Amino acid sequence: MKFSGANFAVLLVDEYNLIASLAESATMGKEAITQQTNPFGVGSEGHTPIGVEKGVLNVGGGFFDPTTDALHNVTGTVVGISRIVSAAIEGNTIGKHFIGFEGPYSQKYEVTDQKDGLTKANVTYLVSGDVNEGVIVQDLATFTADWDTKTGGAGATDAPVDYTLDPVNRSIPIASATKASPCVVTTDVAHGLTTGQKVLIAGNSLTGAVINGDRAVTVLTPTTFSVAVDTTGSGGAGTGGTMVLSSTVAGGVGYFHCTALTTTNLVYKQMHSADDITYAALITYATLTAAGKERKTVTGTIDRYLSSNGDVTGAGSVTVFSGLCRN
The predicted structure's pLDDT at residue 130:
83
Distance, CA of 41 to CA of 150 (rounded, Å): 63
Per cent of the chain over pLDDT 90 is 57
Distance, CA of 182 to CA of 52 (rounded, Å): 45
The predicted structure's pLDDT at residue 124:
78
The predicted structure's pLDDT at residue 33:
63
Rg of the chain taking only CA atoms, in angstroms: 23
Tell whether the model's pLDDT for residue 159 goes beyond 80. yes
- Span 257-280, average pLDDT: 96
Tell whether the model's pLDDT for residue 34 goes beyond 70. no
Greater model confidence, 120 or 245: 245
CB atoms within 10 A of CB 80: 9
Tell whether the model's pLDDT for residue 24 goes beyond 50. yes
Greater model confidence, 103 or 111: 103
Nearest to 123 by CA among 142, 107, 106: 107
Positive or negative: CA dihedral 193, 199, 93, 152: negative
Q: Are 98 and 133 in contact (CB under 8 A)?
A: yes
Distance, CA of 8 to CA of 19 (rounded, Å): 8
Nearest to 254 by CA among 270, 278, 272: 270
Distance, CA of 207 to CA of 239 (rounded, Å): 11
Tell whether the model's pLDDT for residue 3 goes beyond 50. no
Greater model confidence, 98 or 41: 98
Distance, CA of 150 to CA of 159 (rounded, Å): 6
The predicted structure's pLDDT at residue 110:
77
pLDDT band, residue 4 (cuts 50/70/90):
very low
Distance, CA of 216 to CA of 210 (rounded, Å): 14
Cross-strand pairs, 97: 135
Q: Are 255 and 86 in contact (CB under 8 A)?
A: yes
Q: Are 263 and 313 in contact (CB under 8 A)?
A: yes
Greater model confidence, 132 or 49: 132
pLDDT band, residue 2 (cuts 50/70/90):
very low
Q: Are 174 and 242 in contact (CB under 8 A)?
A: yes
Cross-strand pairs, 55: 30, 127
**Cα 299 to chain center, whole Å?**
15
Tell whether the model's pLDDT for residue 17 goes beyond 90. no
Range with lowest mean pLDDT among 62-71, 282-291, 292-301: 62-71
User: What distances in angstroms separate CA 39 from CA 33, 43, 44, 57, 320, one per listed residue?
Assistant: 19, 9, 9, 34, 51
Q: What are phi and psi of 241, to 5 degrees?
A: 95, 180
Q: Are 232 and 186 in contact (CB under 8 A)?
A: no
pLDDT digit string (tens) for 221-252?
999 999 999 999 867 889 999 999 999 999 99
The predicted structure's pLDDT at residue 18:
74
Q: What are phi and psi of 165, to 5 degrees?
A: -95, 0
The predicted structure's pLDDT at residue 77:
46
Cis peptide before 173 (omega within 30 of 0): no
The predicted structure's pLDDT at residue 303:
98
Determine if residue 79 is left, alpha or beta; phi over 0 gives left, psi from -120 to 50 gives alpha, anything else beta.
Answer: beta
User: Could you tell me the maximum CA-CA distance found in the chain, to the nearest angstrom?
Assistant: 77
Distance, CA of 11 to CA of 99 (rounded, Å): 10
Q: Which residues contact 306 (CB under 8 A, 6 or more apart)?
A: 135, 137, 160, 161, 163, 270, 271, 272, 282, 324
pLDDT digit string (tens) for 202-218?
999 998 888 999 999 99
Range with lowest mean pLDDT among 4-8, 144-148, 175-179, 188-192: 4-8
- Span 10-37, average pLDDT: 71
Q: Which of 30-44, 138-152, 306-320 has the highest mean pLDDT?
A: 306-320
> Coil, helix or strand for 163?
helix
Distance, CA of 101 to CA of 127 (rounded, Å): 7
Q: Which of 8-17, 18-27, 173-182 has the highest mean pLDDT?
A: 173-182
